[in-house]
Amino acid sequence: MTRATFRLATGAGFVLDDLRIVERTRSWSEPEAAPRLRVVFVRRGCFRVRSPGWHGVVDPVTAYLRRPDDEQRIAHRPDTEDACTVVTLDETLASEALGERLPARPLLTSGRMDLAHRILVARARCGADEFELAERVVRLLGDLLPLTKDALPSGSGAPSHQRLVESARELLAGDPGWHTLDGLAAALGVSRSHLSRVFRAGTGETLTRFRARLRVRAALDRIEAGETSLALLAADLGFADHAHLTRTVRGELGTPPSRLRRLLDGTQRAA
């Protein structure tokens, strides 16, 4: 396994890290506990997590909390880089910002929240001062707080249904450009109606909505990495055309793709 942690910033009550992992096998990691609360935003990839009270898949439309001293094990897809932003909080800031309700299950994040966390990372890389970064962390946690009351379903249904939902999420995260429901269902060996019904029951989201969320996250990741051709981006991610990409991104993030480059390189301060 190749694991690299890049320290982006430290401040009063928080530490901000960029975590990159490439695993060579699907085997589970050794149990690992964190002494302080960590909020993990998945920027790229899809992997499985086992922690007290929950086990399942996380992907770029989710964030999850690593509660202090909870032992966690992770299984990554082989030869695929998983990238996460990790915000570590001291007890005072964690209590102040999130209170006592700390669900083990992942939280389904909005596109605007994902953009906010990526801007936080970009501004940290550009050397923004501790005052600005601390405020961005506090605001991000404030946006996260309401979601702690509505974490993703626990997967308490039939184990076969949970496995189907997780497999669908892995396929969509690996390639959000899937064009047909029929193709996705065939890849999973089930009917379209069964897949659609089970997926919505397991996530609270339709497949179409979930795929749109993943596509926008993938677009953010590509733009952040330097992609300049929106037409190429639209084609690669399964959008009908450049205009379709622009409409979807604007609807999910509240800003057009043309502005994202400046926001994600950290040179333009968002409100």
What does the pLDDT read at residue 151? Answer: 60
Q: Give the pLDDT band (50/70/90) at residue 204.
A: confident
Q: Kindly report which listed range (183-192, 244-253, 262-271) carries the lowest average pLDDT score.
A: 262-271
What does the pLDDT read at residue 9? Answer: 96
Same domain (yes/no): 48, 165 = no
Q: Above 90 in pLDDT, residue 268?
A: no
What does the pLDDT read at residue 79? Answer: 87
Q: Above 80 in pLDDT, residue 269?
A: no
Using an 8 Å Cβ cutoff, are 106 and 64 in contact?
Answer: yes
In a domain, 154, yes or no: no
Angle between helices 130-144 and 111-125 (to 10 degrees): 160
> Domain of 30: which CATH number?
2.60.120.10
Using an 8 Å Cβ cutoff, are 217 and 249 in contact?
Answer: no
C-alpha span between 164 and 41 (Å, rounded): 23
Question: C-alpha angle with apex 136: 134 to 138, nearest 5 degrees?
Answer: 70
In a domain, 141, yes or no: yes
| Average pLDDT value over all residues in the chain | 89
Q: Phi and psi at residue 178, in whole multiples of 5°?
A: -50, 130
Q: What is the mean pLDDT of residues 168-195?
A: 93
Beta strands in the chain (DSSP E): 2-11, 14-22, 32-33, 37-44, 47-51, 54-58, 62-66, 71-76, 81-89, 107-108
User: Given 120, 149, 178, which residue is the final one in a domain?
Assistant: 149
Same domain (yes/no): 22, 126 = yes
Print the domain residue range for 184: 159-264
What does the pLDDT read at residue 149? Answer: 61
Tens of pLDDT, residue by residue over 87-142, are 999 999 988 888 877 777 888 899 999 999 999 999 999 999 999 999 999 999 98
Same domain (yes/no): 31, 102 = yes
Same domain (yes/no): 167, 118 = no
- Tell me how many domains the chain contains: 2
What does the pLDDT read at residue 86? Answer: 96
Q: Kindly report which listed range (91-95, 104-108, 199-203, 217-221) carries the lowest average pLDDT score.
A: 104-108
> What is the share, in percent, of the chain residues with pLDDT greater than 90?
61
Same domain (yes/no): 164, 260 = yes
Q: Above 70 in pLDDT, residue 46?
A: yes
Tens of pLDDT, residue by residue over 47-76, are 999 998 888 899 999 999 998 889 999 999
Q: Above 60 in pLDDT, residue 150?
A: no
What does the pLDDT read at residue 176? Answer: 86
Residue 218: which H helix or E strand, with range? helix 207-224
What does the pLDDT read at residue 105? Answer: 83
